[in-house]
């Protein structure tokens, strides 16, 4: 395989905060780690009112491998934000969101995937942000189009390239499809011959190491972006990288290693959040770790009922143990709360 393939971690609201990004760096294998999507308008207005920054930028200053994904529909607002990110935060990259289909973004704010209707307007935004970002690379994330009847990813990607972007990331669904159905990787592949030099990264339905290898081997992409699969397996990039480099694939973590990982994740969250909010945030990840294990539904019910650190880790230690399969485990029979 081509060892130069890039592996990107997708922006995911409620998940890709500083603590999770640090876990990805610790496991390794990933080339680009994106933040949660940050509103350029919120940044500008919040700074004017209080000289504070959005919480989603916590920890970004000086962070390695980090790209901040930003959104709005105003070239001036986006370029002002990009300039600050480049000059004052020292980010490694800036990614423009033209793919989010959520109503709050694409509907009420006429941003995200709404802008796919207007390739020229996207080009104007990218051009202004590229200038403002200086030497910091600017990429853009898009979808195939707004609907199946208006697929225009080639036009949009060409506009992005002509405006000076350093790469384009394409999710293989339309905005109207949201996350239903299957990502169309043939449609992603059709974009590559239409680009002159910038890299194309594919995104959508990569759930396993085997999925990643299949996409890289069978489609003309320069790399892949993985989102939801990394929530359950933040070590997946390390495994994919090993496969790309023809090395043995690291095994899945043991229960003991999972317990250590969860404790580390909690300690990282506590750098930013209080105990209750750290536990609430961590519960989402832990529920993913339990997927496929016996009695996972009972475990999720138990773990999601506590905000207390001691109770939380008692449940973790009891479930992720060699006694998990025992129906007398208090996590299973409901004796622990």
Question: What confidence score (pLDDT) does residue 202 get?
Answer: 98
3-state secondary structure of 76: helix
* Residue 289 near residue 276, CB atoms below 8 Å: no
- What are the tens digits of pLDDT across the range 272-317? 999 999 999 999 999 999 988 888 999 999 999 999 999 999 999 9
Residue 48 in this model has a pLDDT that exceeds 80: no
Q: How many residues does the chain have?
A: 337
Paired residues of 138 in beta bridges: 94
Is the pLDDT score of 332 beyond 50? no
Confidence check: pLDDT of 329 > 60:
no
Query: Mind listing the pLDDT tens digit for each residue in 225-277?
Result: 999 999 999 999 999 999 999 999 999 999 999 999 999 999 999 999 999 99
| Active-site pick, 61, 100, 146, 304 | 100
Is the pLDDT confidence value at 328 over 60? no
The residues, ordered by sequence, that sit 6+ positions from 126 with a Cβ below 8 Å of its Cβ are 96, 138, 140, 159, 160, 163, 164, 165
Is residue 302 classed as helix, strand or coil in its secondary structure? helix
Sign of the CA dihedral 226, 236, 221, 219?
A: negative
Q: Tell me: the pLDDT tens digits for 105-160?
A: 999 999 999 999 999 999 999 999 999 999 999 999 999 999 999 999 999 999 99
Backbone angles phi, psi at 98, to 5 degrees: -125, 25
Q: Tell me 59's DSSP state.
A: T
DSSP state of 172: S
Nearest to 194 by CA among 158, 150, 224: 158
Tokens of 78: 């986006």
Query: Do the beta carbons of residue 68 and residue 36 sit within 8 Å?
Result: no
Strands 32-34 and 38-39: unpaired
pLDDT digits (tens, 9 = 90+) for 186-195: 999 999 999 9
Q: What is the pLDDT of residues 76-102, one digit of tens each?
A: 999 999 999 999 999 999 999 999 999
Give CA–CA dist 78/84, Å, rounded.
Answer: 10
Residue 146 annotated to the active site? no
pLDDT of residue 2: 75
User: Measuring CA to CA, which residue among 112, 182, 184, 188 is closest to residue 146?
Assistant: 112
User: What is d(CA 139, CA 200) in angstroms, rounded to the nearest whole number?
Assistant: 10
pLDDT (0 to 100) of residue 3: 77
Q: What is the mean pLDDT of the chain?
A: 93
**pLDDT category of residue 336 using cuts at 50, 70 and 90:** very low
Confidence of residue 174 (pLDDT cuts 50, 70, 90): very high
**Average pLDDT for residues 35-49, to the nearest whole number?**
88
What spatial distance separates the first Cα and last Cα of the chain, rounded to whole Å? 49
Query: What CA–CA distance (Å, rounded) separates 239 from 218?
Result: 19
Confidence band (pLDDT; 50, 70, 90) for 324? Answer: very low
User: What does each C-alpha distance from 281 to 13, 67, 266, 331 come to in angstroms?
Assistant: 12, 22, 9, 20
**For 197-221, how does the pLDDT look when each residue is reduced to its tens digit (9 = 90+)?**
999 999 999 999 999 999 999 999 9
Question: Which token pair is 275?
Answer: 């105990």
Query: At 1, is the secondary structure helix, strand, or coil?
Result: coil
Does 120 or 53 have the greater pLDDT score? Answer: 120
Partners of 68 in the β-ladder: 94
């Amino acid at each position: 395989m081509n060892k130069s393939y890039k592996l990107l971690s997708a922006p995911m609201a409620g998940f890709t905060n500083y603590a999770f990004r640090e876990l990805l760096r610790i496991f390794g294998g990933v080339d680009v780690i994106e933040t949660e999507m940050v509103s350029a308008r919120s940044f500008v207005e919040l700074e004017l009112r209080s000289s504070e920054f959005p919480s989603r930028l916590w920890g970004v200053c000086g962070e390695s491998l980090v790209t901040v994904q930003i959104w709005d529909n105003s070239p001036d607002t986006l370029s002002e934000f990009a300039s600050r990110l480049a000059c004052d935060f020292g980010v490694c990259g800036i990614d423009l969101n033209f793919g989010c289909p959520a109503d709050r973004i694409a509907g009420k704010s006429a941003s995200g995937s709404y802008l796919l209707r207007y390739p020229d307007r996207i080009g104007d935004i990218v051009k202004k942000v590229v200038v403002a970002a200086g030497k910091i690379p600017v990429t853009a994330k898009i979808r195939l189009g707004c609907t199946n009847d208006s697929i225009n990813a080639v036009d949009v990607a060409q506009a992005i390239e002509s405006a000076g972007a350093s790469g384009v990331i394409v999710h293989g669904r339309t905005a109207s499809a949201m996350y239903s159905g299957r990502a169309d990787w043939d449609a992603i592949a059709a974009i590559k011959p239409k680009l002159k030099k910038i890299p194309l990264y594919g995104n959508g339905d990569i759930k396993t190491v085997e999925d990643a290898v299949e996409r890289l081997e069978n489609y003309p992409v320069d790399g892949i972006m993985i989102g939801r699969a990394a929530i359950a397996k933040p070590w997946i990039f390390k495994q994919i990288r090993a496969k790309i480099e023809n090395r043995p694939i690291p095994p899945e973590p043991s229960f003991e290693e999972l317990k250590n990982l969860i404790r580390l994740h909690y300690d990282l969250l506590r750098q930013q959040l209080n105990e209750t909010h750290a536990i609430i945030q961590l519960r989402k990840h832990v529920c993913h770790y339990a997927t496929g294990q016996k009695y996972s539904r009972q475990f999720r019910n138990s773990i999601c009922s506590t905000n207390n650190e001691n109770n939380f880790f008692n449940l973790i230690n009891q479930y992720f143990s060699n006694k998990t399969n025992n129906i007398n485990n208090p996590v299973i029979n409901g004796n622990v709360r």
